């Protein structure tokens, strides 16, 4: 009896295990990989498997696909979990694989679940065997392999992206559970609202099946012996909707990116949605608030100087009030920032200034701008001919404030929106007859 047979014939195995397919036609989803003429299907048909990384969300069939491949090509199979296995465990499998190749001329498929949890040393230990061909590595990960799998291992493997299961895929899994499973198929089970069940699963096939089985176990049959899984029963079984968000993983960066870009793009509704998803997923509110403080300056800037005050007040309020009430203040702030006029002029200005400091690292402060606290410094003309701005009309005097190398440079080029339009008009008026800079004849680089 093999792994598939034992799982399919034991009620002690979870439903998701019992329904693992032993035929490629029974595999649900991922038609772009296992459909006719697709890469993994061709490898199986040719009995020629290459090392691969299976990357996709939880419950999309990564483990099932690895097991199915090993079953159909009839190779030795070893499985490790990166959560509980160390270098010693890996070496034991690799040594056994070497023996199999040497004495039986048979390769071994090594399946490593959650391979992203292996550190560099653990991943390095796989390289020689993958290179030599004594093992065919199949790694499964929910994280971006570009960040989590070492480059030498990636270069020796193909990365295949598993897509989230569609509604059609999940309906197929429900039907299979009710009609093909040895135990559930014997029961009279009715699910009036399958769409609600799919929603609770969050697109995770494993969560769908195991939750379905638990709901059946927790429900008493009615007078006719029928088990009716109402929405109330399903909701009680699953407890909460599944939020696809891991504050320590790639989705963390994807969602915060969407949040920032929504505010930058002046869409308050999208900003609120992504904020709600982060908070529901357990994100630290202070992290979100810090990002709003940065955006208030980088993307709103002087078009609405109050934006920075608003964002800082939000950050301080979270420290004082906390959650859940803090979500109201955070929502108000996100809406304000998204709705505010936008300008990245200050951000662009400081970046251009940094570039010139790198380009001219040895500039000298003009003598008239230097501090002269001692007699010697005064004798050396430090501070000589400095014009005190408040002694002139409009508290302004045309003077050179930049070092000679960049004396005519303009870094800050205000935009036409909000408060910044007033700032632009004021600066153009002050410097219109200047010997040093001309705001009306400045190119995009401030020259």
Write down the pLDDT at residue 143: 84
CATH 1.10.3710 intervals, the chain: 362-441
Calculate mean pLDDT across residues 165-193.
93
Architecture per CATH, domain 29-161, reads as: 3-Layer(aba) Sandwich (3.40)
Give the mean model confidence (pLDDT) for residues 135-158. 90
Phi, psi (deg, nearest 5) at residue 384 = -70, 135
Predicted confidence (pLDDT) per residue in 59-77, tens digit: 899 999 999 998 898 788 8
Burial 178-208 (b: 16+ CB within 10 A, else e): beebeebeeeebebeeeebbbbbbbbbbbbb
| pLDDT tens-place string over residues 286-302 | 999 999 999 999 999 99
Domain span(s) for CATH 3.40.50.300 in the chain: 29-161
The arithmetic mean of pLDDT across residues 349-365, rounded, is: 92
C-beta separation of 116 from 153 below 8 A = no
Note the pLDDT of residue 1. 40
**With contact defined as beta carbons under 8 Å apart, do 112 and 118 qualify?**
yes
Three-class SS state of 248: coil
Report pLDDT for 445.
65
Among 204, 203, 198, CA closest to 234 = 198
List every span in the chain annotated with CATH 1.10.8.60: 167-238
> Which fold is adopted by the domain 250-339?
Zinc Finger, Delta Prime; domain 3 (1.20.272)
The predicted pLDDT at position 440 comes to: 66
Report the C-alpha gap between 180 and 243 in whole angstroms: 29
Residues of the chain with CATH 1.20.272.10: 250-339
Task: Could you please state the CATH topology (level 3) that the domain comprising 362-441 is classified under.
Answer: post-AAA+ oligomerization domain-like (1.10.3710)
Contact 258, 280 (CB under 8 A): no
Does the domain spanning 167-238 belong to CATH 1.10.8.60?
yes
pTM: 0.62
76-81: strand order across its sheet: 76-81, 108-113, 135-141, 52-55, 158-161
Q: CA triplet 243, 249, 252: central angle to 5 degrees?
A: 60
């Amino acid at each position: 009896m093999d792994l598939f047979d034992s799982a399919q014939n034991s009620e002690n195995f979870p439903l998701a295990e019992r329904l693992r397919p032993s035929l490629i036609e029974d595999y649900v989803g991922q038609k772009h990989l296992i459909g006719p003429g697709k890469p993994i299907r061709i490898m199986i048909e040719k009995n020629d498997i290459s090392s691969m990384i299976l990357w996709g969300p939880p419950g999309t069939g990564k483990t099932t696909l690895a097991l199915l491949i090993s079953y159909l090509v009839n190779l030795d199979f070893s499985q490790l979990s990166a959560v509980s296995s160390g270098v010693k465990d890996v070496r034991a499998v690799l040594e056994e694989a070497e023996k199999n190749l040497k004495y039986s001329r048979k390769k071994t498929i090594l399946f490593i679940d959650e391979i992203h949890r292996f550190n560099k040393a653990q991943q390095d230990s796989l390289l020689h065997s993958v290179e030599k061909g004594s093992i065919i590595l199949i790694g499964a990960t929910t994280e971006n392999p570009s960040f989590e799998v070492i480059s030498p291992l990636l270069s020796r493997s193909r990365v295949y992206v598993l897509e989230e299961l569609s509604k059609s895929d999940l309906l197929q899994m429900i039907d299979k559970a009710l009609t093909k499973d040895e135990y559930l198929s014997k029961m009279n089970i009715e699910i009036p609202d399958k769409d609600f069940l799919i929603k609770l699963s969050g697109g995770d096939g494993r969560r769908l099946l195991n939750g379905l089985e638990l709901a059946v176990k927790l429900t008493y049959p009615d007078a006719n012996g029928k088990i009716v899984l109402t929405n109330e029963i399903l909701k009680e079984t699953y407890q909460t909707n599944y939020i696809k968000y891991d504050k320590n993983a790639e989705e963390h960066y994807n969602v915060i990116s969407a949040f920032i870009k929504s505010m930058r793009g002046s869409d308050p509704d999208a900003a609120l949605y992504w904020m709600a998803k982060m908070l529901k997923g357990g994100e630290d509110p202070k992290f979100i608030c810090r990002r709003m403080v940065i955006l208030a300056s980088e993307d709103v800037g002087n078009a609405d100087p109050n934006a920075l005050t608003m964002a800082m007040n939000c950050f301080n309020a979270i420290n004082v009030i906390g959650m859940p009430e803090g979500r109201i203040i955070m929502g108000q702030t996100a809406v304000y920032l998204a709705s505010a006029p936008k300008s990245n002029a200050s951000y662009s200005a400081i970046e251009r200034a940094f570039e010139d400091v790198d380009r001219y690292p040895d500039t000298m402060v003009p003598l008239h701008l230097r501090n002269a606290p001692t007699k010697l410094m005064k004798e050396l003309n430090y501070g000589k001919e400095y014009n005190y701005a408040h002694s002139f009309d409009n508290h302004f005097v045309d003077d050179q404030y930049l070092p000679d190398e960049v004396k005519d440079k303009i870094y800050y080029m205000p935009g036409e929106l909000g408060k910044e339009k007033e700032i632009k008009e004021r600066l153009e008026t002050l410097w219109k007859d200047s010997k040093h800079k001309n705001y009306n004849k400045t190119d995009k680089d401030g020259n």
